[in-house]
Chain A
Amino acid sequence: DVVMAQSPLSLPVTLGQPASISCRSSQSLVYSDGNTYLNWFQQRPGQSPRRLIYKVSNRDSGVPDRFSGSGSGTDFTLKISRVEAEDVGVYYCMQGIQRPYTFGQGTKLEIK
């Protein structure tokens, strides 16, 4: 299985400050069609996961533009330009290139 490793696992951030989460995969997530199947999910306390980003950098409808995804191959980053209170929760990266899809361990974002 493809192993997904996130860092940090805990991320205390001051309101209004930027935040960055790293995700590394054990193999390239570039598929033969040229797309890279890396996703980011947000899970707020007590809620289901919600997709934020698909194929590295495509934001889902309704996702604030302070969220951005970048990266290539095996190294990816989720950035929040200015953290707001509603961003508290756990963030997961997930690869969708190989079955079974696998998730990172999760990064818990909290407000300092």
Chain B
Amino acid sequence: EVRLVESGGGLVQPGGSLRLSCAASGFTFSDYDLDWVRQAPGKGLEWVGRGWNKFNSYIIEYAASVKGRFTISRDDSESSLYLQMNSLKTEDTAVYYCARDHWGSYEYWGQGTLVTVSS
């Protein structure tokens, strides 16, 4: 069974940092591209970034809204995807999901982890 489990969310002050993790199981992690997608309270879904797989040279991509502040990494030996978030803003408040891509589609999603940026 494919599972994606996010963790690391919480309350942080503006300008602060947080590191999210996505632990994967049930599939060969290194074969797949994984994305971070977020959802602000009461809003729609927004792509945050991607960790491409080994076949795509582990390229990292970011949305313009987070580029320069967020860093995505992956550890295939741990079957985990990470999102280091620095210089957090109130508008980064959201549930953060990791999602597995397969041929232009998010087949599997995690349960999400809530990040609240507030003073």
A: residues with CB less than 8 A from B are 31, 35, 37, 39, 41, 48-51, 54-55, 92, 94-97, 99-106
A39 and B109 alpha carbons, distance in the complex (Å): 14
Question: B106 near A49 (CB under 8 angstroms)?
Answer: yes
A49-B45, A94-B106 given; 11 more Cβ-contact pairs under 8 Å: A37-B104, A41-B106, A48-B97, A51-B105, A92-B44, A95-B104, A96-B103, A96-B104, A100-B63, A105-B44, A106-B45
The DSSP consensus for interface residues of chain B is: strand
Question: Which B residues lie within 8 Å of A31 (CB)?
Answer: 104
Question: Which B residues lie within 8 Å of A105 (CB)?
Answer: 44
Given A92-B45, A99-B61, A102-B47, A50 contacting B109 (CB threshold 8 A): yes
B: residues with CB less than 8 A from A are 35, 44-47, 50, 61, 63, 97, 101, 103-107, 109-112
Question: Which B residues lie within 8 Å of A96 (CB)?
Answer: 101, 103-105
Instruction: With both chains docked as a complex, state the minimum distance between the C-beta of A78 and any C-beta of chain B, in angstroms.
Output: 15
